[in-house]
Amino acid sequence: MCSALAQFHALFATISPDKMWAVLVLSIVLLVEAYIDLTKLKVPNKITYPTIILGWLYALVEGARQGADVTVCLPYLGTDLFDLHGTAGGAVSGLWSSVGLTFYWPTWVLLAMYAIGGMGAGDVKMHMGFGAWVAAIYGWDVGSVIVTWGFIFGALTGGVISAIMIWWSGSFSQNRKNVAEIVGDFLGSKGIGEVAEKAAARKPRLQLLPYGVPLCIGYLTYVALDYCNYTGWIHGLGGQ
């Protein structure tokens, strides 16, 4: 029993001890969401929405616990309104970072894909919940890099999985036709609405890939690399 506990501690040895439970919770949630996405090709709102909200709350509480000095200002105008210190400043800073990573640039890319019928809403909300928790666990600097690389790794992994699926099913010709149609839709349609309608009509012929699976793989890979002390370059990209 003691040996098992020691191995468990060693797995997260490079993560702040007070954040180990959050890493474990996020990993379990992503695994559950990935499994549901894989088996049902959707992630239910009863999981995604609570994940996002709890991520915000955790960031707020964790920020308040640590404390910070922040200046509240009007965006783009450069006008300072007031200063917050200690608990209040930390709470605002933590929540702001979590909301910021919830709606970080990969989310908008996924929303654009959802708008044209290329992705399910559940996958987008799953990614948003991931960003909310990553901010609370790692902070903005490293968290923004993790969210970025989580998205990139997810896209690359998804491409590999898609290629394997196409090879396994022998549907290369059909998929090549689908790609040609998608490109033609973008070039010949009058607007996003028309692209989305054509995508919806083509959906039954597509091999659907659950984005939750590569996203989960991406984050768990980061945890594994962190365990092996191979994430220094990621932290360096984050400015730390």
Please answer whether residues 153 and 221 qualify as being in contact, where contact means their C-beta atoms are separated by less than 8 angstroms: yes
Beta bridge partners of 96: none
Under the banding of pLDDT at 50, 70 and 90, the label for residue 5 is very low
Rounded to whole angstroms, the Cα distance separating 195 from 226 reads: 41
Instruction: Note the pLDDT tens digit of each residue in 204-225.
Output: 555 567 788 888 888 888 777 7
Under the banding of pLDDT at 50, 70 and 90, the label for residue 124 is very high
CA-wise closest residue to 22 among 102, 141, 150, 132: 132
Under the banding of pLDDT at 50, 70 and 90, the label for residue 10 is very low
Q: Residue 15: what pLDDT?
A: 67
Under the banding of pLDDT at 50, 70 and 90, the label for residue 130 is very high
| Helix, coil or strand: residue 4 | helix
Instruction: Note the pLDDT tens digit of each residue in 14-43.
Output: 567 788 899 999 999 999 999 998 888 889
Q: Residue 90: what pLDDT?
A: 85
Instruction: Note the pLDDT tens digit of each residue in 65-119.
Output: 988 878 777 666 677 766 778 888 888 999 999 999 999 999 999 988 887 777 7
Q: What is the DSSP letter of 41?
A: S
Please answer whether residues 105 and 117 qualify as being in contact, where contact means their C-beta atoms are separated by less than 8 angstroms: no
Global model pTM greater than 0.85? no
Rounded to whole angstroms, the Cα distance separating 15 from 9 reads: 10
The dihedrals phi and psi of 91, each to the nearest 5 degrees, come to -65, -45
Under the banding of pLDDT at 50, 70 and 90, the label for residue 184 is low
∠ Cα 84 131 82 (to 5°)? 15
Distance of CA 95 to the CA centre of its chain: 17
Question: In this model, does residue 194 exceed pLDDT 50?
Answer: yes
CA-wise closest residue to 92 among 125, 53, 66: 66
Rounded to whole angstroms, the Cα distance separating 240 from 237 reads: 7
Compute the mean pLDDT over every residue in the chain, rounded to the nearest whole number: 78
